[in-house]
Structure 1
Amino acid sequence: MSRIVYLNGEYLPETEAKVSIFDRGFVMADAVYEVTSILDGKLIDFPGHMARLQRSLGELGIRNPLADAEYLAAHRRLIEENGITDGMIYLQISRGNGGDRDFVFPPEDTPPTVVMFGWNKPGIADNPQAQTGIRVITLPDIRWHRRDIKTVQLLFSSMAKMQAKAAGKDDAWLVEDGFVTEGSSNNAYIVKNGAIITRALSNDILHGITRAAVLRFADEAQMTVEERNFTVDEAKAADEAFITSASAFVMPVVEIDGATLGDGRPGPVARRLREIYLDESRKAAI
């Protein structure tokens, strides 16, 4: 059966959903997006995703065409229509169809294009890599300097993941001026002497929704958190490391550029934070 998707207020089979070739999301990557996880048929961290969506739209001057309640209703309908128990919902908003390709923005009354679709991802919370950890390489961070805006400009992130795969590893951490910024599609952390260390919020990294929740839970669990830059060498010498994202939740890192962290197995801080995050997120899911 064809997947049901959302396009500008309509629910359509995916084969019938069409977007203009002049849409600025297509010709200019002039669009933002959010991905919300689904566990047990409920949405994880949905209010946080809506707040970041509004911020991204505001930073680019794109009008938000719907209220949060309308996005929520659409997410829930897509879950129901597609029978999603565990999975994801993708939401994208572009500046719309300008009628041609032009660097100048179209008129302000141009309707934004809103697309949503979901997919099943059975066992998303039981990813076996959480038990073994992932291995990463480091690469120069050559992205634009507004990484805090969640745009669809993801080419380098995709290339970084492919370079990691070509090296036989799982992912890449990006480095600028000697300091780790973040992963290719996730926030990065190290743990040293029990302290969780992660880069502070700025234009240099995405303001992760999972990041915010995990750091809040860490504080509530009376764990030490340091929001500061850290170097690749510091990361290689760490006791443990991990990443966070909406799809990976909390995922341990056991190797960086061939250097094994600790005993080569997921560390206690990452394991505990993943357990807390999944438990608390399920309780708060809507």
Structure 2
Amino acid sequence: MDRGLAYAEACFETFRVINGEIFNWPAHAARLRRGLDAFGLTVSDAQTERMHAACLQAAAGTDALVRLTVSGGDASWGLFTPADAISARIQVMPYHADAVLPVLKVMEWSSPPIHRMAKFTADYASTLRVLRGERHALFVHQQQLVSAATANVMIFRHGQWWTPALTAGVLPGVIRQHLITSGVVREGVCPARWLDDCDALALTASSFFVRPVAGIRREQRSCDLVDLSAGLKQSLYGMPGVPKDLLDA
């Protein structure tokens, strides 16, 4: 009985492998290890490197979307029965970009935000319960922007890109951090009222990198948005593991 399935004792990373390269693999590896450390699961440098090599090998010769899931491993029955070793699983599928830009439905995240240091599988179970089948969501909590269902959100208003702070319960995304470090995006409290006068929204994730948002749906009204994501994409363009057609996407 795998402890990831039985007790959600698992973390994962999702990323693109393009021409044998992963954008900022060290950031993915560090986040994975932070999550596993929270469970008391130790992963050595050698194990991390073997996972890295296995992901590259599994996706060789393709532009592939890869998910690396690491769990507590196979163990006998019981919450406090540890496994002899962790389990690592790799899933690979060809990457295909969505042809239609998303229109996000604004949804309230009712529970208080939690600190998210890594991609814990259990966190996404909570997300599914909030979504109830809604794929394209933009979460707000107590009148603050949080994130999309599986991506960080960037909001452009008054000539500046912003992204919600980690204190809002935001995943420390790899692409998000690159944009902040590059000076393209500022991190801070993003009030939900900004949706009333923003010029653009974009989503970031290590699968599609940057995706503009076509519009927002709310209970009483909806609005269309323009695509101003070129500056975000430009800060990534030409880096290892980034698609050559990013600016055209």
- Using the size of structure 1 for normalisation, the TM-score is 0.74
Unaligned runs of 5+ in 2: 245-249
Partner of residue 246, structure 1: 206
CA deviation after TM superposition for structure 1 residue 91, in Å? 0.8
Give the residue type in structure 2 aligned to 1:265.
Answer: V
Separation in structure 2 between the aligned mates of residue 115 and residue 121 of structure 1, nearest angstrom: 19
8 Å contact 2:109–2:130 — kept in the other structure? no
CA deviation after TM superposition for structure 1 residue 160, in Å? 5.0
2:75 to 79, 98, 101: 98
Separation in structure 1 between the aligned mates of residue 20 and residue 29 of structure 2, nearest angstrom: 18
Residue 88 of structure 2 aligns to a residue whose secondary structure is: strand
Partner of residue 13, structure 1: none
CA gap of 1:76–1:281, structure 2 versus 1, over 3 A, is: closer
Give CA-to-partner distance per residue, 1:57-81, whole Å, 9 cap, x none.
112222225533212221122123x
Alignment of 1:189 onto 2:169: no
1:135 to 65, 78, 103: 103
CA gap of 1:283–1:31, structure 2 versus 1, over 3 A, is: closer
8 Å contact 1:252–1:271 — kept in the other structure? no
Partner of residue 233, structure 1: 193
Alignment of 1:54 onto 2:48: no
Separation in structure 1 between the aligned mates of residue 28 and residue 174 of structure 2, nearest angstrom: 7
Give the residue type in structure 2 aligned to 1:63.
Answer: T
Worse overlay, 182-191 or 93-102: 93-102
Aligned-residue identity in percent: 21
Give the residue type in structure 2 aligned to 1:272.
Answer: G
8 Å contact 2:180–2:187 — kept in the other structure? no
8 Å contact 2:202–2:210 — kept in the other structure? yes
CA deviation after TM superposition for structure 1 residue 228, in Å? 1.3
Separation in structure 2 between the aligned mates of residue 281 and residue 183 of structure 1, nearest angstrom: 26
Give the residue type in structure 2 aligned to 1:254.
Answer: A
* Equivalent runs, 1:79-90 vs 2, <5 Å: 79-80=59-60, 83=61, 85-90=62-67
CA deviation after TM superposition for structure 1 residue 176, in Å? 1.5
Residue 137 of structure 1 aligns to a residue whose secondary structure is: strand
Give the residue type in structure 1 aligned to 2:189.
Answer: N
CA deviation after TM superposition for structure 1 residue 140, in Å? 2.1
Alignment of 1:255 onto 2:229: no
CA deviation after TM superposition for structure 1 residue 214, in Å? 2.2
8 Å contact 1:208–1:245 — kept in the other structure? yes
Separation in structure 2 between the aligned mates of residue 249 and residue 194 of structure 1, nearest angstrom: 21
Separation in structure 2 between the aligned mates of residue 281 and residue 233 of structure 1, nearest angstrom: 37
Separation in structure 1 between the aligned mates of residue 195 and residue 34 of structure 2, nearest angstrom: 31
Alignment of 1:277 onto 2:240: no
Separation in structure 2 between the aligned mates of residue 39 and residue 245 of structure 1, nearest angstrom: 15
Unaligned runs of 5+ in 1: 1-21, 166-170
Separation in structure 2 between the aligned mates of residue 99 and residue 161 of structure 1, nearest angstrom: 33
CA gap of 1:197–1:283, structure 2 versus 1, over 3 A, is: closer
Alignment of 1:73 onto 2:53: yes
Q: Which has the larger radius of gyration?
A: 1
Separation in structure 1 between the aligned mates of residue 170 and residue 192 of structure 2, nearest angstrom: 16
Alignment: residue pair count: 238
8 Å contact 2:23–2:242 — kept in the other structure? no
